[in-house]
């Protein structure tokens, strides 16, 4: 990951976002970036990445659902544990993270709020494929209007404390919000 971050920085990226959940990764990347003169490259840490079934549609789309080896729950966070997220965010900030992410977002609004209340750092959420799929499928079944559901879900993430949201709805939201 350090090598990849250096290649991306040399190519001109503004932000690197390691999503691996390994302890110490932010510090190692920060030291390497600064050691190679890339002091303006920011690190967005996937600090609170929960073991979630909501990643399923993405894994299915890329064909990895049945081929995954091992269990991601061994390194992703327990969905029942909010305190671990706060500890991980603190660790990543102390190692040099410029911003942090909570993933997925909608089921973890309480975690987003706790991170926002405790840390003065840009905070993002990733509205993952399963969250997107739930809203799309509900609209296809006539349960709700997709634009209303999309905006309500994004507003909830923003209201919980997010400064930014990564979402499969990005183009739709930009069109609706103009």
Q: How many CB atoms lie within 10 A of CB 9?
A: 21
Any idea which residue has 């990564």 for tokens?
166
For this structure, is 72 an active site residue? no
For this structure, is 158 an active site residue? no
Q: How many CB atoms lie within 10 A of CB 12?
A: 8
Q: Residue 170: how many CA atoms within 13 Å on its side-chain side?
A: 10
Choice among 69, 72, 103, 158 that is catalytic:
103
Q: How far is CA 113 from the centre of its chain?
A: 15
Query: Torsions phi, psi of 36, nearest 5?
Result: -105, 15
Choice among 49, 69, 72, 158 that is catalytic:
49
Complete DSSP assignment for 62-76: TT-TTT--S-GGGTS
Residues labelled catalytic: 49, 103
């Amino acid at each position: 990951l350090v090598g990849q971050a250096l290649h991306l920085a040399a190519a001109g990226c503004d932000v690197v976002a390691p999503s691996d959940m390994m302890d110490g990764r932010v510090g190692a990347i920060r030291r390497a970036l600064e050691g190679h003169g890339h002091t303006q490259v920011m690190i967005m840490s996937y600090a609170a990445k929960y073991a979630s079934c909501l990643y399923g549609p993405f894994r299915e789309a890329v064909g990895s659902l049945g081929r995954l080896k091992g269990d991601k729950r061994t390194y992703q966070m327990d969905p029942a544990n909010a305190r671990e997220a706060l500890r991980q965010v603190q660790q990543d900030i102390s190692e040099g993270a410029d911003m942090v992410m909570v993933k997925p977002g909608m089921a973890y609004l309480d975690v987003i709020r706790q991170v926002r209340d405790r840390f003065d750092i840009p905070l993002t959420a990733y509205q993952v494929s399963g969250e997107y799929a739930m809203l799309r499928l509900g609209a296809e079944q006539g349960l709700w209007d997709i634009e209303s559901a999309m905006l309500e879900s994004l507003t909830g993430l923003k209201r919980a404390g997010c400064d930014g949201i990564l979402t499969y709805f990005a183009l739709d939201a930009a069109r609706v919000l103009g």
